[in-house]
Chain A
Amino acid sequence: MRRSDTLTRRSFLGSVAVAGAAALLRPSRAFAYPGPSAAHPGPIVTRPIPSTPSDALPLVGLGTWGTFNVGDDVAARNSCTDVMRAFFAEGGRLIDSSPMYGSSQAVIGYGLGKLGHPKELFSADKVWTPSGAKGPAQIAETEKLWGIAGFDLLQVHNVEAWEEHLQTLFGMKKAGKLRYVGVTTSHGRRHDVVEKIMRSQPIDFVQITYNALDREIEGNILPLARERKIAIICNRPFQRGALIQRVERAKLPSYAAEINCTSWAQVLLKFIVSHPAVCCAIPATSRVDHVRENVGASYGRMPDEALRRRIAADVEKI
């Protein structure tokens, strides 16, 4: 396998922000991405948000479906806070949630409060109600649960009532209350609707399922995203654990070391985030060791196209 930093140097440099330089996010705040540490081979890899290239995100974020829905259990909330602490310490930024995720939003707010609201946070949530009229109230409630004044990204969950909700979100963006607007879907559902929205609406993000087995979007959505300068966030990177259970039956392939991976989880994540249209993957976890492992996939060499195909083929064979 040719080293990706030589083979794809031109395209790679065109899509990677040099870590260590202060990245301007909002006029009022800036921070430096973590530099190389003993734990990681080189600086964290980020990808620009296509609609705002001066803004970039590390390749691995944090999902909260299931794992952060722990209710009022204080011990469990503290564990989730530990996960967030480790996530930020490793260089992570994007945390994603939804009103559909039970108490996850409140648990995020609890953790952010304990951590002093890290300025690295890129907050992403969703509006999830069949009634467009109820969207603003739900968004306000979500902000309250997170304990923040506004979100970086709000998405229409499962494209439900998207016409009405997008109107609300675009209005918020115009008023300076929101930075980015997006839509989400998962499990391969409603790709036709998502495509229609991508072609007709000035959205910034699409969140969609993509992993080494679920690759349907390579043919349509991903090329369209590049054409329309829409950032792709990938949910279900491990099919909620099923993919990990599948691949761990097999020995870690030798090429894992060539792309600085020490586990199947990292190989699976690097498969996803090495696609040039993908901005970020959002694996969910309630474990500190797993979040460190996941964000670790934002570092080091990425597979080139040939290796990506090989990874997909190997996973299918298991």
Chain B
Amino acid sequence: MSEWWTYRLYDFLLFTPQTYYRLFDLYNAAIWPAQIVAVALGVLLVLMCARGAGRPVALILAAVWLWVAVAFLALRYATINWAATYASWGFGVEAALLLWIAIRGRFDPPPAYARTAGLGLVLFAVFVEPLSGLLLGRPLGQIELFALTPDPTVVATLGALLTLRPKRRWLLMIVPVLWCLFTGLTLLAMSARDWWIAPAAAVLVVVLTLSSRAHSPAVSSLRSSG
């Protein structure tokens, strides 16, 4: 038999898909009616991103990242996946960074295409991504909502970072991009048909962020003087 590279992704999965999705069932049942607050926060996030209100957006995101870190990752997901304990710490760090941005942060004006794409991603994460499970036949009880569960929260955050362009946004992108990779691989291992959503969002945001940096006034002036 060959060496470790013959491991399938599924071999690294600590739990069955049934157990994973039941996690959301039990979580949603336990925190009801927090879903109403989550949807309201999602609507508020969209409005604030559309207005370019960086500090309120960062404050909302800091709060929801902290909630997800504790209520979902540490208290629930970590019971079946020890790696979720480290993820919860990562989400806590991201919450702290977002809070710092909310208090002291500065924001660059985004290019129009980045602003549009970012807003589109926020809208997607808040209103469309939660429906992906339903469209794939999963019951309503397993719905994953922005502000309550990691995937749509992370995708919405990436969109917000694109829209608002805070200084040192690369630092704020590290944990979300890593989570998109982690969740994408986990869902792929489970042969989930929506495994690609979070990784695609991460790739889009990284590409657009690089692109908008290349076309920023500071870079343009460096090129013209060089």
A70-B14 CB under 8 A given contacts A188-B2, A216-B1? no
Contact with B along A184-222 (1 / 0, CB 8 A): 000111000000000000000000010000101000000
Q: Is B178 an interface residue (CB 8 A)?
A: no
Distance, CA A189 to CA B6, complexed state (A): 10
Whether the pair A240, B10 counts as a contact (CB closer than 8 A) is yes
Q: Is B13 an interface residue (CB 8 A)?
A: yes
Distance, CA A67 to CA B1, complexed state (A): 25
Distance, CA A71 to CA B20, complexed state (A): 10
Whether the pair B10, A187 counts as a contact (CB closer than 8 A) is no
Neighbouring B residues of A102 by C-beta, 8 Å: 14-15, 79-82
Contact residues of B with A, CB < 8 Å? 1-4, 6-8, 10-11, 13-16, 19, 22-23, 26, 76, 79-82
Q: Besides the contacts A70-B15, A103-B80, A240-B11, what 12 more A-B pairs have beta carbons closer than 8 Å?
A: A66-B14, A66-B16, A70-B80, A71-B23, A71-B80, A73-B22, A73-B26, A102-B80, A188-B1, A188-B6, A214-B1, A286-B16
Whether the pair A189, B15 counts as a contact (CB closer than 8 A) is no
Contact residues of A with B, CB < 8 Å? 66-67, 69-73, 76, 101-103, 187-189, 209, 214, 216, 240, 242, 286
Neighbouring A residues of B76 by C-beta, 8 Å: 71
Neighbouring B residues of A286 by C-beta, 8 Å: 16
Q: Name the 6 nearest CB pairs between A and B, nearest first.
A: A188-B1, A71-B79, A71-B80, A69-B15, A216-B1, A102-B14
Distance, CA A286 to CA B14, complexed state (A): 14
Whether the pair A187, B22 counts as a contact (CB closer than 8 A) is no
Neighbouring A residues of B1 by C-beta, 8 Å: 187-188, 209, 214, 216
Listed A/B pairs (24) with beta-carbon separation below 8 Å: A69-B14, A69-B15, A69-B16, A70-B15, A70-B19, A71-B23, A71-B76, A71-B79, A73-B19, A73-B23, A76-B22, A101-B14, A102-B15, A102-B79, A102-B80, A102-B81, A187-B11, A188-B2, A189-B4, A214-B1, A216-B1, A240-B10, A242-B8, A286-B16
Distance, CA A103 to CA B26, complexed state (A): 17
Whether the pair A103, B11 counts as a contact (CB closer than 8 A) is no
User: How far does the Cβ of A100 sit from chain B's closest Cβ, in whole Å?
Assistant: 8
Whether the pair B10, A69 counts as a contact (CB closer than 8 A) is no
Distance, CA A36 to CA B137, complexed state (A): 45
Whether the pair B3, A189 counts as a contact (CB closer than 8 A) is yes
Whether the pair A187, B80 counts as a contact (CB closer than 8 A) is no
Neighbouring A residues of B8 by C-beta, 8 Å: 242
Please name the residue on chain A nearest to B23 by beta carbon.
A71
Neighbouring A residues of B4 by C-beta, 8 Å: 187, 189
Distance, CA A188 to CA B1, complexed state (A): 5
A188-B79 CB under 8 A given contacts A66-B15, A102-B14? no
Neighbouring B residues of A240 by C-beta, 8 Å: 10-11
Distance, CA A71 to CA B8, complexed state (A): 24
Neighbouring B residues of A189 by C-beta, 8 Å: 3-4
User: How far does the Cβ of B188 sit from chain A's closest Cβ, in whole Å?
Assistant: 16
Neighbouring B residues of A187 by C-beta, 8 Å: 1, 4, 6-7, 11
Neighbouring B residues of A188 by C-beta, 8 Å: 1-3, 6
Whether the pair A67, B6 counts as a contact (CB closer than 8 A) is no
User: How far does the Cβ of A98 sit from chain B's closest Cβ, in whole Å?
Assistant: 11
Neighbouring B residues of A69 by C-beta, 8 Å: 14-16, 19, 80
Neighbouring B residues of A67 by C-beta, 8 Å: 16
Neighbouring B residues of A73 by C-beta, 8 Å: 19, 22-23, 26
User: How far does the Cβ of B186 sit from chain A's closest Cβ, in whole Å?
Assistant: 13
Neighbouring B residues of A103 by C-beta, 8 Å: 79-80
User: How far does the Cβ of B75 sit from chain A's closest Cβ, in whole Å?
Assistant: 9
Neighbouring B residues of A209 by C-beta, 8 Å: 1
User: How far does the Cβ of A292 sit from chain B's closest Cβ, in whole Å?
Assistant: 19
User: How far does the Cβ of B117 sit from chain A's closest Cβ, in whole Å?
Assistant: 37
User: How far does the Cβ of A152 sit from chain B's closest Cβ, in whole Å?
Assistant: 25
Distance, CA A209 to CA B80, complexed state (A): 24
Neighbouring B residues of A242 by C-beta, 8 Å: 8
Please name the residue on chain A nearest to B4 by beta carbon.
A189
Distance, CA A69 to CA B11, complexed state (A): 14
Distance, CA A188 to CA B3, complexed state (A): 7
